Amino acid sequence: MREIDVKAVSDAVRELCIKANKILPSDLENIVREGVNLENTQPAKGVMQSLCENIDAARELDIPICQDCGMAVVFAEVGQDIHFTGGSFEDAVNEGVGRGYKDGYLRCSVVGDPLRRVNTGNNTPAVLHTRIVPGDKLKITVAPKGFGSENMSKLRMFTPSADISEIVDWIVDVARTAGSNPCPPMVLGVGIGGDFEQCAYLAKKALCRSVSVRNPDDFYAGLEKEILEKVNALGIGPQGFGGNVTALSVAVETAPTHIAGLPVAVNVGCHVTRHAGTVL
């Protein structure tokens, strides 16, 4: 049994909150930069160049990539041979988020009650997804999620009679309806299967997959490619000004489901779909 002091968890989450908000994953940054050369009109090309300058400025000035520093979504894969000492694991995660947002001068956007809407002042509590896995390691991924894109996300309970083209058309329509609201070019996370809440979880988790990695199943990798091509054919373009790059990447994650159901969720990410991880 390996012991981990929860202070190490808190410290790690603090650092990841700051890092994720200031430094875009390198593979996503590369796709954004490549997008400049994919645009043929000056407005679209100019917007893509501005997005690149924004990434550079965030790095050089040590400031957030986006003013919406998001709600802190934390994925924790906890080895079953770990024993946490010194306090509560969940409390440690929230302490790390609170310190990260304060120390990193990140915008705090969480309200403690959905209807009374009083800001908690430190961006807590986090949305915490914990999974028990074999081994004695702790993998933590922090994915700050802004709500310009989150508000455009959708879930639909298809029936098993739905064919693949119906599902693809609906996913593309989610992007069409989103338009310029999620600050395109977008990253689309798609969850297929499970039940109502699991497919939404899968869609959010999909946004944390490296954009340079395709689904290991060739069938779903092909589906990702098809959806990306059709979304880019919409012509929404960077920031909604029209163009070739409406989406940067599509990631599909799946799970077994019930014989009577076929849930599908789309979690929309913006061009700064942020996430950072570490292993303790």
187 pLDDT band (50/70/90 cuts)? very high
Instruction: Pick the closest to residue 157 from 256, 262, 253 (CA basis).
Output: 262
**Could you tell me the pLDDT band of residue 263, with boundaries at 50, 70 and 90?**
very high
For residues 132 and 151, what is the distance between their CA atoms, to the nearest angstrom? 30
In terms of Cβ atoms closer than 10 Å to its own Cβ (0-12, 13-18, 19+), residue 95 is: buried
**pLDDT of res. 207:** 98
Mean local confidence (pLDDT), 150-179: 98
**pLDDT tens digits for range 239-260:** 999 999 999 999 999 999 999 9
Torsion of CA 113, 195, 279, 33, to 10 degrees: -90
Round the average pLDDT of the chain to a whole number and report it.
97
Contact present, 138 and 79 (Cβ < 8 Å): yes
266 pLDDT band, cuts 50/70/90, is very high
Question: pLDDT digits over 31-78, tens only?
Answer: 999 999 999 999 999 999 999 999 999 999 999 999 999 999 999 999
**Above pLDDT 70, what percent of the chain?**
100
Average pLDDT over residues 4-27: 98
Q: Which pTM does this prediction carry?
A: 0.96
pLDDT score for 72: 98
Gap between the Cα atoms of 206 and 252, Å rounded: 6
Distance (Å, whole) CA 204 – CA 191: 8
Residue 113 CB-density burial (10 A; 0-12 exposed, 13-18 middle, 19+ buried): exposed
Domain ranges of the chain: 2-22+65-145, 148-273
